[in-house]
Structure 1
Amino acid sequence: MYFLGAQFVTILTIIHGLNGENTTCDLALDLILILDSSGSISVPEFAHAKYAMVDLVERLNINEKGAHVAVVNYATTVDLWAAFDVYNYDKISLVERIKDLEKLDTGTATGDALYVARHHCEGVCRRPEQAVTRAFIVFTDGNSNSGRLVVDEAPLLPGPAMANVFAVGIGDTITNAELIAIASDKDYTLRLSNYIELTTAINNLTIATCHFPAFIMPNIKILNHQVGQNLYHYYQMNTQMIPNKNGMFIDLIVNNTVGRTQAYTSLTSKNPKGLNTRQASTPLKDRTYTQYIPVGTNRFYFSLFGMEPVNQYHFVAQLRFL
């Protein structure tokens, strides 16, 4: 059961129209799973949470160039375990480690968990100029009651860390305000009534994770990306961090080295792919697509759609100020 309210937006807004898509994810992804194991969670509930995380991990393409996964198990204390360099991206070993996570059984220090996850990612996540999607998913059943404040730690994740943060609340103790404070976007929240529902929601959560747009930096050329036929690769630029006093243009320059792509852009849709977006076909030679960015724009989103069996490309988003 999903809960909707006037001020509360759930995962359904992200996956609208995506049902029926492949529920595995081949995306290159730096993913940190942040799991609450405080005293308010029963042993069977914690087992359901671990089962759900295993299910999500099983759907990822975990390897050196694909998905990298770290796990943060927290209560009042925070225990970090990462797949990075530990098992050489071995999915089997990662799954076994998740199954062996111990319930910590104390308070709820979500702010501390976000702090540990951010610093871990700053050290081992792939470099921003590689434009690999970064995603943190927090699973919790209650408001933080110890340690660092969520309202202080959460804003640092989509900013300097350039990560998408998704908050999953289970049960009726966690408040909507807490979930929205954790999430990097009001759309990135999901509320479930119990942990059994979490195990059934993982399919949709996997789809949402695979549609997170990767952050890119302005004027930095991104090399050797690829997208399959009839698939999209999503990107975003945080234009709120750019001093834009009079409006500016972004010139998106795409060079297809193999195959062909179609570019879609938007200032509002996180996954531009047709209606209500702008588009430009990008043939084998360089193609420049220009988007005007008004003052006060928070994000520039775009996607590249694969038109051939194999599609490889470089691109750069260059700024032009007025």
Structure 2
Amino acid sequence: MYESTSLLVYDWSIVKKFQEFNCILKGTLLYSATVPDSRTSETLQVFQKHSIMRFIHCFFTVISLCFPYQVSSVDCGSATADIVFILDSSGSVSEPDFIRAKNFFKTMVNGFNIGSDKVRMGSVTFSTVVHDTFEFNEFTSRYSLKNRIDRIPYDSGGTNTHLALKYALETSFRYYGRSGVAKIVIVITDGKSNDKTKTLEESRRLRSSGAIIFSVGVGDGVDRDELLGMASKSAYVFDVSTFSALQNIRERLTKTTCEVISCGDPGTPQNGYFVGRDFSKGKSVSYVCNQDYRLQGTSTRICQGDTTWSGSLPHCIFANACRSSPCKNGATCINVDSRYRCECNPGYSGFDCETDIQPPLVKQCPGNKRMTSSERFVNITWKAPEFYDRFGHNVLTSSNYPRHGSSFFWGDYTVRYNALKPFNGLRTNCTFNIAVRPRPCPDLKPPKNGAVACNGWMKEFTRLCIVFCRKGTRLSDGYDFRTKYVCGGSGNWLPTENLPICKATRARHVDIDEIQNYFPRCQPVFKDEMKERYIAVLRNAIGFRSLCDDYSDHCKPENVDVDC
């Protein structure tokens, strides 16, 4: 026996579901009513098919699929993000369960402010392959987005989760994602992926790009380690026993996602408060302390692109510790945290600036002195430095030259004055150097058509030079290559500072003893030969070989000066 039944329909898609489950029965009149985002109502035709008992059974099945909870109490406000839902459409997920996953997706939409400049959503469905995706820029209203979710088809097949993760990284975010907004991925799956290694590697790549991954596991067949490996952190892993139970985590998942998109409550310091209630990216809050407290730390924090607050939570520190004037000797008291700090005047130290750390002070410490003299000894005097204590304590003084002068031979000397303050045992030194040098020798000009080689070390005390001639010339008559030109403390060259010239000659004969005193051209290679010759002559020069014997580390060809 059949009866006529009327049903008020709020969603056109339910008609298809009744048809898919063969639930339309004879005499059932279906009406469409207007809902906030639906079209104008109209009357549907009467369908005649099965018995009333069949209808009742299917009615509750279809209603559970088509009318999940539609309203979310969580709202992310003005936060912005690009969110990808990755849906498992493999063979282990039945078609009714896949519909429940889509309905869960739709209820999640209600928790966000959807728009082109707000939260955008995309979808990647996978089984053996990725299929029926849509991108962030395609649907920018809740109505159009939920209608598109309804049209995601069931596929069945394998569980190649890694392909969906790879698609999200290399297509969804790379080509359609925005910079400067949170990148969120929500993976819903009921089993183990076909290739766990690839799944974890693609998850790592996705996280490295800045995306935050939530993993939702449904049922007992899920690989828990794989869920943990995919998610950005363990708190972002959600478990439910069935697809119907997804609604149980909707509020928590939406809230957690909102916290990722926004920075959440920045925290309130004890004995203080913050000003500002918008916690979305780019917004800021300012901190203020109660009376008698001082802010320690940053006064402003900004919600950053990675959904964390800049800086750290400041503290409000009791700021009246200096009321008792604990600092001594005229020090300045500064409140630090709940205590105080003393800024001491010069010469004092200690927590309360109670300790005298002032060493003796010095006036007119002489500077370094340099003198030249043709005499080996020279008398030098100076004005002694003055030592004193700014606080009036006694100062004792000593010196290695107590008469403030002495007779100095050519050389280098250090004069030291030491002052001791017995009150605290601190000392102060006055030190300066005295350099006594022979009268400097003028540089020798190389002879015409020749060269001159001299020692390049100990030049301030002794200069010794020899001459060379260019090939094709010879020394002026009366001069000898064996002559050494020397300048000492007198500052005068002996035998003369005027070197002989090298005159051109046609004579081809050169004395074998003089052949090493000739050079073809003034080039580095021939200068090196003259330097070698100079060292050989110096080592055998009676009365002058001490330049090599006493300074063997310096008596080397590279330290010889050659000018030509």
- Interval of TM-score (by shorter of Structure 1 and Structure 2): 0.5 to 0.7
Give the structure 2 partner of residue 108 of structure 1: 159
- Cα distance, 1:303 vs. partner? 5.8
Q: Which amino acid aligns with 1:67?
A: V
Partners of 1:107 and 1:65 in 2: CA distance:
36
- Cα distance, 1:60 vs. partner? 1.1
Change (3 A) 1:303 1:111: same
Give the structure 2 partner of residue 194 of structure 1: 242
What are the Cα deviations for residues 74-104 of structure 1, in whole angstroms up to 9, with x where unaligned? 11110252243324x1321110111111111
CA contact (8 A) 2:161 2:193 kept: yes
1:232 matches 2:279: yes
Partners of 1:35 and 1:300 in 2: CA distance:
25
Change (3 A) 1:73 1:82: same
Partners of 1:118 and 1:84 in 2: CA distance:
13
Q: How do residues 92-103 of structure 1 correspond to structure 2 at under 5 angstroms?
A: 92-103=143-154
CA contact (8 A) 1:33 1:69 kept: yes
Partners of 1:94 and 1:113 in 2: CA distance:
20
1:302 matches 2:309: yes
1:150 matches 2:203: no
Q: Which has the higher contact order (CA 8 A, sep 6+)?
A: 1
What are the Cα deviations for residues 147-183 of structure 1, in whole angstroms up to 9, with x where unaligned? 9711211101121x21100000000001210101111
Aligned length: 217
Give the structure 2 partner of residue 212 of structure 1: 260
Change (3 A) 1:63 1:300: closer
CA contact (8 A) 2:217 2:227 kept: yes
CA contact (8 A) 1:109 1:148 kept: no
1:58 matches 2:129: no
1:140 matches 2:140: no
- Where structure 1 has 5 or more consecutive residues not aligned to the other structure, the ranges are 1-20, 216-227, 235-253, 264-277, 289-298, 306-322
Partners of 2:245 and 2:136 in 1: CA distance:
30
Deviates more, 1:107-116 or 1:195-204: 195-204
CA contact (8 A) 1:134 1:164 kept: yes
Give the structure 2 partner of residue 84 of structure 1: 136
Give the structure 2 partner of residue 179 of structure 1: 227
Give the structure 2 partner of residue 261 of structure 1: 285
CA contact (8 A) 2:81 2:119 kept: yes
Change (3 A) 1:38 1:168: same
Larger Rg: 2
CA contact (8 A) 2:120 2:137 kept: no
What are the Cα deviations for residues 195-228 of structure 1, in whole angstroms up to 9, with x where unaligned? 111022111111011111579xxxxxxxxxxxx9
What are the Cα deviations for residues 259-286 of structure 1, in whole angstroms up to 9, with x where unaligned? x6148xxxxxxxxxxxxxx96322xxxx
CA contact (8 A) 1:83 1:94 kept: no
Match of 2:74 among 1, 23, 28: 23
Partners of 1:190 and 1:262 in 2: CA distance:
35
User: Considering only aligned residues, what root-mean-square deviation do their CA atoms show, in Å?
Assistant: 3.1
Q: Which amino acid aligns with 1:46?
A: F
Give TM-score scaled by structure 2 length: 0.36
Partners of 1:65 and 1:304 in 2: CA distance:
27
SS of 1:208's equivalent in the other structure is: helix
SS of 1:232's equivalent in the other structure is: coil
Partners of 1:54 and 1:304 in 2: CA distance:
37
Q: How do residues 237-248 of structure 1 correspond to structure 2 at under 5 angstroms?
A: none
Q: Which amino acid aligns with 2:165?
A: L
- Cα distance, 1:31 vs. partner? 0.3
Q: Which amino acid aligns with 1:230?
A: R
Match of 1:168 among 194, 216, 220: 216
SS of 2:148's equivalent in the other structure is: helix
Partners of 1:169 and 1:279 in 2: CA distance:
42
SS of 1:96's equivalent in the other structure is: helix
Q: Which amino acid aligns with 2:309?
A: F
SS of 2:145's equivalent in the other structure is: helix
Partners of 1:106 and 1:71 in 2: CA distance:
18
- Cα distance, 1:300 vs. partner? 10
Partners of 2:225 and 2:278 in 1: CA distance:
35
Partners of 2:261 and 2:146 in 1: CA distance:
26
CA contact (8 A) 1:233 1:303 kept: no
Partners of 2:161 and 2:145 in 1: CA distance:
23
- Cα distance, 1:140 vs. partner? 0.3
SS of 2:137's equivalent in the other structure is: coil
- Cα distance, 1:146 vs. partner? 4.9
Give TM-score scaled by structure 1 length: 0.61
